[in-house]
A = this chain, B = another copy of it.
Amino acid sequence: MASPIELALAEARAAAARGEVPVGAVVTDAAGAVLARAGNEVEARHDPSAHAEMLAMRAAAAARGNKNLGDCTLTVTLEPCPMCAQAASVFRVRRVVFGAYDPKGGGVEHGARIYAAPSCHHVPEVVGGVREGECGALLRAFFAARR
């Protein structure tokens, strides 16, 4: 069975094939079952908030009819931006696992560092750098081809 980061990488590759920035995300429950998976859909939806993480978390909660993802892990190929990092907090995600670090746009280990704010009510566990090389290479290849 493919691991969550492998499924997220597959979503990222599918996003690239649609002309979207290649980021993919998967939400799994405590037993490891996949509740939702998504790739970026910013261009297709004309929606800059349609990041893979947002779509996957919304779909996971909708699938269960429960807004609380407190038993879940969000696995994503790129460090979440501040919007998605905060979304993981409001969905009460237990753990955020990400691939490539994003010094320019990330909001977990960089920039606004959402979980470091004392007012952040729910702080997920964070594991960064998983399959970092592959996750980052996808993004670099995508942007290099557009230059």
Contacts and interface: CB of A to CB of B under 8 A. Distances in A.
> Would you call the interface of chain A mostly helix, strand, loop, or mixed?
loop
A58 B48 CA distance: 8
Interface of A: 42-43, 45-49, 54, 57-58, 61-62, 64-67, 81-87, 90-92, 103-105, 107, 110-114, 117-121
Contact of A49 (B42, B45, B54, B64): B54
Contacts of A120: 111-112
26 contacts: A43-B67, A45-B62, A46-B62, A46-B65, A46-B67, A47-B67, A48-B87, A49-B58, A49-B91, A81-B90, A82-B82, A82-B83, A82-B85, A82-B86, A82-B112, A83-B83, A83-B84, A83-B87, A86-B112, A105-B121, A107-B112, A111-B117, A111-B119, A112-B114, A112-B119, A112-B120
